[in-house]
Chains A and B, each alone.
Chain A
Amino acid sequence: METVVPKISIVFRTLFRADITTQWRNRKGLVISLLIPVMMVMLWKDMVKTAGGAWVLSNALSYGLVALGLMGYSNTIARDRDKGIFQRLRVAPIPTWAIMCSRLLVQLLMIVIITLAIFIVGYDVDHISLSVSGYIITLFTSIIGAGFYLSVGQLIVALIKNPDTVNSTSRFVFIIFVVSGMVISLYDKAKKLPPEYATIFHWSPYGTINTMMAAGMEPSTWNMHATNASLATIGYIVVFLVIGIRKFTWNTK
């Protein structure tokens, strides 16, 4: 009897289906990740006139990306690792990269859903409309931005094994990113930040992602600074991901 190793396409499809089902059954977290940015778009109607639709959308998207990429991803990975779910999958003939890629693909799909929902609410409630190229580029920049927060989530689960500590750390990092990011962003928009602080903010991960997304929404405003911000974001992703993958262990013992 010859041993059969199933095709990777079949294995990946099976894994992805199971991961999607698991995500759907845990949709409470997704709903919260979706509701808050949608509410932000609805409540910031007045900000559209002063700060612009692109600013409102990019900040709402940033919140959604941080909530889902950073907290959702890291907590799910930490919990499943602690329960030994990964170990059970790893004793099957599945390449380890397929296990992780399936998880990441599910997260990216959720990010696309959140992005589209924010676009729809922004258009419907705040009458924010982008050009077709603006929508397409923003979808891509959202995925890059999500990639950054996923890489931070990966770094957290790589450095911390206890799922409760992962949960509290990701919440802490979330607050730092969202609260400080948004507050500083407001000051920056109002040009109330001292130039040296503004430079630091612009080149921080939150700043580069915001710049990239805001420029993506209005492609005519895309300039060298937006390109550099995109490259810096990708650089952040590479650094965090390399450390996060190298330090990651599949079990907590």
Chain B
Amino acid sequence: MTQENSILKVEGLSVSYGNTVAVKDVSFDVRKGEIFGLLGPNGAGKTSTLSAIEGLVKFQTGTIMVDGYNAAEKPLYARASMGVQLQSTSFQAELRVPEILQLYAGVYGVPLDKQRIDAILKEIKLEDAVNKKFGELSGGQQQRVSLFISTIHNPRLVLLDEPTTGLDPQSRRQLWERIEAVREKGHGIVLTTHSMEEAEAVCDRIGIIDHGNMIIVDTPQALIDKYKNDPEVIALSRRGKVTLEDVFIALTGRAVRA
């Protein structure tokens, strides 16, 4: 365990799939109590970067330190230090919500009795769904379970891959409240999103990744300030006010990615 200010430190990360290089020499860090947004167009390398941190793909070069644990040398400790919400919710459809909670509490070594399960269900507003199987829940309900599981063991680092996709405003608000609570504990959060408004509103710092390269890392306001006088950015701004989206499009191009 480290006493450093960084919960996550990625240095010189490269990920390839066969001959295709998805991530090239990417470096960034996530500090304690920080929400770090990883932004980029489709296929830019966001999910590959997250997958390497999560231990789902092998990386060719670089080091990943999660709460002081080298992810390549101590993968179980690195994974125990992080909570993950993947892009698509993915639990056994036949299991009931309390059974899913028990499964993940067990694999993360968290004691869980019936009283605690009831409290969790109440907290995620699923007390009426106690006998429902995961496959019978609505998309928003599934997302709430998934988000709770990602923080069930009170991890020092939380990775969220497009967490607000498909959520209604109420569920989205609840999600941000939960993420805020994690941040207040001094834990780090990495999230990917396609919503620039969301990134601008909630992220302390953002990293823009494109074609596998980390183009820039800074606070949303610093990025806007840096590029607000750029003629290309001004041309992109619609209401005379430069936004993060304008900067993002200026940096990554207007072409729609597959």
Residues of A whose CB lies within 8 Å of any CB of B are: 1-7, 10-11, 13-15, 17-18, 21-22, 25-26, 80, 83-85, 87-95, 250-251
Contact = CB atoms under 8 A, between A and B. Distances in A.
B77 A5 contact: yes
Contacts of B99: 18, 21
B103 A18 contact: yes
A14 B94 contact: no
B156 A87 contact: no
Contact of A11 (B90, B93, B102, B106): B106
Nearest to A26: B94
26 contacts: A2-B1, A3-B1, A3-B67, A3-B69, A3-B80, A3-B81, A3-B156, A5-B80, A6-B109, A14-B102, A14-B107, A15-B107, A17-B106, A18-B95, A84-B86, A84-B88, A87-B56, A88-B86, A90-B56, A91-B54, A91-B84, A93-B80, A93-B107, A93-B108, A95-B76, A250-B56
A91 B77 contact: no
Given A84-B86, A92-B79, A93-B77, 16 more contacts: A1-B1, A2-B1, A3-B80, A6-B106, A10-B109, A18-B92, A21-B95, A83-B88, A83-B90, A84-B88, A87-B86, A91-B55, A92-B104, A93-B76, A93-B107, A250-B56
B91 interface: yes
A93 B94 contact: no
B103 A85 contact: no
Nearest to A98: B107
Interface in B112-160: 133, 156
A93 to B, nearest CB: 4
Q: Give the residue among A14, A22, A92 with the most B Cβ atoms within 10 A.
A: A92
A24 B1 CA distance: 41
Nearest to B105: A14
Interface residues of B, number: 31
Given A18-B95, A90-B56, A93-B107, A85 B67 contact: no
A88 B90 contact: yes
B90 A85 contact: yes
Nearest to B146: A88
Nearest to A86: B90
A176 B79 CA distance: 44
Contact of A10 (B80, B94, B106): B106
Contacts of B102: 14, 17-18
Interface in B67-83: 67, 69, 76-77, 79-82
Contacts of B84: 88, 91
Contacts of A90: 54-56
Interface in B28-65: 54-56
B90 A87 contact: yes
Nearest to B88: A84
Nearest to A251: B56
A19 to B, nearest CB: 9
Contacts of A80: 92
Nearest to B50: A91
Contact of A91 (B1, B86, B91, B156): B86
Contacts of A25: 94-95, 133
A110 B107 CA distance: 24
A53 B91 CA distance: 45
Contacts of A251: 56
B92 A1 contact: no
Contacts of A6: 80, 106-109
B107 A11 contact: yes
Contact of B106 (A2, A14, A83): A14
Contact of B156 (A1, A10, A15, A21): A1
Nearest to B96: A21
A197 to B, nearest CB: 44
Give 4 closest A-B pairs by Cβ, nearest first.
A14-B106, A6-B109, A84-B90, A25-B94
B152 to A, nearest CB: 10
Contacts of A13: 106
Nearest to B133: A25
A15 B107 CA distance: 8
